[in-house]
Homo-oligomer: A and B are copies of this chain.
């Protein structure tokens, strides 16, 4: 299903600064970028780059003098997903069988201190045998216990805070989900993207857990359908996949984000405890 996605970020630059943006829709075997355009107004030279560490598409630019500028991205993207409903396809993968590329997602990261959550995770979720049900129960627990509250957290808030303070935004919900999965030896990674029917419209963050040999999507906020996500980036946590990293003295003065579909047949898909169907963007 095709989605039109777009964002526009506006910055006030006070001193020469460098920006790294991560707003392009990812190109993967299952996500096709049909059209896209990136505009910077007024024009500033920029370059796209990737890293050996990931397939995320970064844009970098240097702003050499104080000014105001806008960066806008528009694309038509066709992300394919699979619904997986066989029990065996949602089994945990023992650490000994994990692919080497997946193993780094077992370890703690800046905002996901899984090493400090082990007792909590085992006491609360350790007895659930089906891995998909286990992660689903984690997201239900987060959804029920953490209040979605704009402005309640900041860029330094981590899973160790959120698990007790119980308020946050999508980023915090994702970090907590990731940390709890890793504490149970389930690989988990951060996911940022455009999100259809997210209200209020914004960039979205959720997470993927590695179950049955695939990355399955989970969203503890339940703010948007799982089948309306257009992936921008994966990472260990928000440190790897910030929409914008800035080096210098700048202020973001406006953010506009949106996602639409022309397809009248979109049927929102959310998980239900009774059916145990997982959704994977692989």
Q: Which residues of A does B touch, CB under 8 Å?
A: 18, 20, 49-54, 58, 60-62, 94-96, 100-101, 103-104, 106-110, 112-113, 115-117, 119-120, 123, 145, 147, 155-156, 160, 163-167, 185, 236, 239-240, 242, 245, 247
Contact = CB atoms under 8 A, between A and B. Distances in A.
B100 A166 contact: no
Contact of A166 (B60, B119, B145, B239): B119
A71 to B, nearest CB: 15
Given A95-B18, A100-B50, A185-B247, A107 B239 contact: yes
A20 B103 contact: yes
A123 B51 CA distance: 31
Given A58-B100, A62-B96, A164 B160 contact: yes
A107 to B, nearest CB: 4
Instruction: Across the A-B interface, give the 9 residue pairs with the lowest CB-CB distance, nearest first.
Output: A119-B166, A49-B100, A51-B100, A62-B96, A18-B95, A107-B239, A52-B101, A108-B110, A18-B96
Contacts of A52: 52, 100-101
A163 B104 CA distance: 27
A196 B249 CA distance: 35
Contacts of A155: 115
22 contacts: A20-B95, A20-B103, A51-B100, A53-B101, A58-B100, A58-B103, A60-B95, A60-B96, A61-B96, A62-B94, A95-B247, A107-B110, A107-B239, A107-B240, A107-B245, A109-B109, A109-B236, A109-B239, A110-B110, A113-B156, A117-B164, A163-B164
Contacts of A185: 247
A49 to B, nearest CB: 4
B18 A103 contact: no
A166 B107 contact: no
A164 B95 contact: no
Given A18-B95, A116-B156, A101 B51 contact: yes
